[in-house]
Amino acid sequence: MKNNMRTKITTLIALFLISLGVNAQIDRSQQPKAGPAPTINLGKPQTFELKNGLKVMVVENHKLPKVSATLILDNGPIFEGEKAGLTSIAGEMMGNGTKTISKDAFNEEIDFLGANLNIGSQSANFNTLSKFFPRILQLTADAVQNPLLTQEEFEKEQAKLIEGIKSGENSVAAIAAKAQNALVYGKNHPYGEFETETTAKNVTLADVQNFYATYFKPNNAYLVIVGDVTFKDVKAQVTKHFNNWKKGTIPVYEIPKVTDVAKTEINFIDMPNAVQSDIAVINTVDLKMSNPDYFATLLANKIFGGGGEGRLFLNLREDKGYTYGAYSRIGNDERTSATFKSAASVRNMVTDSSVVEFMKEIKTFRDTKVTDEELKNAKAAYIGSFVMALENPATVASYALNIVTKKLPENFYETYLQKINAVTVDDVQRVAQKYFSTDNARIVIVGKALDALPNLEKLPYAINYFDKESNAASKPEMSKPLPNGVTKLTVLDNFFNAIGGAAKVKALKSTLVTYEANAMGSVISTTEKRTSTKYANETSMGGNVVAKIVMTKDGVFMNKQPLPAPMAGEMSYTIGTFLEMGLLNNESSKLTGIEIVDGKDAYVISTKGEIVSSSVYFDVATGLKVKELQVITMQGQTQNQEATFSNYQEFNGIKFPGTKTGSLGPQKVEFKLIGAKVNEGVSEADFI
């Protein structure tokens, strides 16, 4: 009985445990499915309008005892021209006192109440604890309608602006932002112009007063108030404080038309301090929010470069590791062109490769349809952010504001999710072809020319150079200064030491090297023999000798035919047991600077001739030769020959490049070192 009882209890416990176990049994190998979609509640702000045109929107939200407010003067962009900087100065001067409250008293009171108030050139906003809202609203109204604009304040803000302009001169990001707008829109466009020291100095207090009197009007003004207030109180207070704000005439301004470049080009600005290149591929788009293409462009951009799952990010960051982030953005504008822009900051050495990837991604995006899954995911992302944005009470107000200022249908946001869902993969491709340009884009690059330019020049785009203020400039100087004490002799001695010791190398009588490569379907083999006074090179293809060059003091012979004397004369310095022995003894071979070869600093020894010029590159760190470049100019034609050297291997105590990569027509050919000999295998018969 006792036993039986015990068994029962155990069974019970076991059952209990099992049921617990069953409860905990979740299949974590399966991603959980979403529950039923939450219902969303799109409220609408309450509104009223004053006789002077000021439109007011109020969203009551009593969750926290605070209030925020925004005033927007929707007057459109203002072109400042020779006085660029006027709106900045005016914006800074506003909100520092009123005709009846001194600057100190005004700022002291705002701070005392713990509030934040900012008035800009065409806007104002504040946030405050709700208990101080009435007073902050009153102070804002006074500051907007009766600003204190004094000469003293003007001079202070002008000086600060000029200092601020200077402060950004070495910032790659600041220069890039200015350049992108100036180049894409042109400096005659309000979005393209920027303030300089000169234009900021042109501004006077009278300009500021005039600007205020002209543009700070309630005609196109919206005041949005969100938070712990009641509509009734707001209406009473706003009416009381803003009713006397006088309407005026806002000047009509025709914004210049913007055109893209006829053919995609690179716009390069050199900043020697850059450790990353700022790259932006930009074309303009004519797109308003009310355009039926709007939703498809949102999704296209999302898939292309709208975030961490975008193709740009997956390619340039996740796959290539070129950058911390690569994104695209498509804008919309009611009054003028907006832009489609793909951008990233990438490390200097991959500037060209990044441009290639950007252009490739844009092309692919236009040429092929996105997948159903990509589109589905992009839609989900938009739907999610739409739902989550509703947490912020200001969202409802900004939607209402968009409907009025961007002339959207009343139900724009009620049907928002529906319109997102209706977009198809065909729509995405159609808008990509319409708005994402491969042929008429500007590739604006701000970076270090020394590192980035040599490879950018190999891309199929014209490069135009600009200075930091986006004025046309000439190509930047491309070599680095040499450190003190470095001369041709030290560079060559370093080389000799690196390959086996200067004394040993200089004492050699002869050298013989053989390289082989597979190209054009056969084995190409080349053997070079050198003594201190003679040189021979034999190239064979599939076992047959195709070319033999011999150089002696008597001349240069190609397949036993002498080359013209002027040309031969310019080649003879290369004679020596090593080319470098020739450089050492030739007075017209000079150390010219430091350039970058495959991302590393290299000393350059150049020999300039009428017909034959050459540059030989030695790695600064290892001393080894890494590249040779020969340029032959004859009868107006120029031919470049380039070879790079790597993978040095030792033979008889002397190191020779194990790999030599050269070009054979359009093809790159990699030669492997087969054998090398010193002081043997070379006889006089080789130089006939």
Partner 1 sequence: MRKIIYLSSLALFLSVSLFAQKVEFEEYDLSNGLHVILHKDNSAPIISTSVMYHVGAKDEVDGRTGFAHFFEHLLFEGTKNIPKGEFFKIVSANGGANNANTTQDRTFYYETFPSNNLELGLWLESERMLHPVINQVGVDTQNEVIKEEKRARIDNAPYGKISYRTGINQHIFKNHPYKNSVIGSMEDLDAAKLQEFLDFHKKFYAPNNAVLVVAGDFETEATKKMIENYFGDIPKGEKVERINIKEAPITESIKVTEYDSNIQIPVKLFIYRTPSNKDKDSYTLDMVSSILTSGKSARLYKKLVEEKKALQVLAFNDSQEDYGTYIMGALPMGATTLDELGVEMDAEITKLQNELISEKEFQKLQNQFENNFVNSNSGVQNIANTLAANYTLKGNTNLINDEITIYRSITREDIKRVANEFLNKNSRVEMDYLKKEIE
- Map the footprint of partner 1 across residues 215-274, applying CB under 8 A: 272-274
CB closer to partner 1, 97 vs 190: 97
Show the tokens assigned to 402.
């968009």
Rounded CA separation 673/527 (Å): 10
Smallest gap from residue 624 Cβ to partner 1 (A) = 23
Residues 361-380, one symbol each (x = binds partner 1 by CB under 8 A, - = not), give ---------------xx--x
Smallest Cα–Cα separation from 279: which of 215, 381, 386, 358? 358
Q: Is 520 left (phi over 0), alpha (psi -120 to 50) or beta?
A: left
178 lies in the binding site for partner 1 (CB under 8 A): no
Site for partner 1 in 98-117 (CB under 8 A): 104, 107-108, 110-116
3-state DSSP of 555-572: EEEECCEECCHHHHHHHH
- For the stretch 491-502, what's the b/e string if a residue is b when 16 or more beta carbons lie within 10 angstroms of its beta carbon? bbbbbbebbbee
String of contacts with partner 1 for each residue 7-26, x by CB under 8 A = ----------------xx-x
Shortest distance (Å) from residue 116 CB to partner 1: 8
**Does position 636 bind partner 1 by CB under 8 A?**
no
Phi, psi of 342 (to 5 degrees): -115, 130
Name the residue among 15, 55, 32 with its Cα closest to residue 224. Answer: 55
Q: Which of 7, 167, 559, 652 binds partner 1 (CB under 8 A)?
A: 167
H or E, element range at 459: none
Binding-site size, partner 1 (CB under 8 A): 82
Q: Please, what is the minimum distance in Å from the beta carbon of residue 427 to partner 1?
A: 19
Query: Contacts with partner 1 in 41-100 (CB under 8 A)?
Result: 63-66, 96
- Nearer CB in complex with partner 1: 345/526: 345
Footprint on residues 110-149 left by partner 1 (CB under 8 A): 110-116, 127-129, 131-132
CB 492, CB 501: distance < 8 Å: no
Among 177, 383, 459, 463, binds partner 1 (CB under 8 A): 383
**Residues in 448-507 at the binding interface with partner 1, rule: CB under 8 A:** 481
Q: Which is nearer to partner 1, 270 or 293 (CB)?
A: 270
**Considering only residues 345, 429, 514, 607, which one is a binding residue for partner 1 as defined by CB under 8 A?**
345
Q: Find the DSSP H helices in 168-254.
A: 172-185, 197-202, 205-215, 231-242
**Alpha-carbon torsion angle 463, 466, 468, 471, nearest 10:** -160
Q: Is 28 in the site for partner 1 (CB under 8 A)?
A: yes
Given the DSSP bridges, would you call strands 589-597 and 472-473 parallel, antiparallel or unpaired? unpaired
Q: What's the closest the beta carbon of residue 63 comes to partner 1, in angstroms?
A: 7
Stretch touching partner 1 by CB under 8 A, among 83-91, 170-178, 287-295, 594-602: 170-178
Stretch that binds partner 1, among 162-170, 177-185, 418-426, 579-587 (CB under 8 A): 162-170
Element (H, E) at 510: strand 510-519
Of residues 315 through 334, those in contact with partner 1 by CB under 8 A are 317-318, 321-325
Q: Among the residues of 368-464, which ranges form H helices?
A: 372-389, 394-405, 416-422, 425-435, 449-456
For the beta carbon of residue 162, count every other beta carbon within 10 angstroms.
Answer: 17
Residue of 309, 469, 493, 528 interacting with partner 1 (CB under 8 A) = 309
In the range 385-414, which residues lie near partner 1 by CB under 8 A?
A: 385, 387-388, 390-392
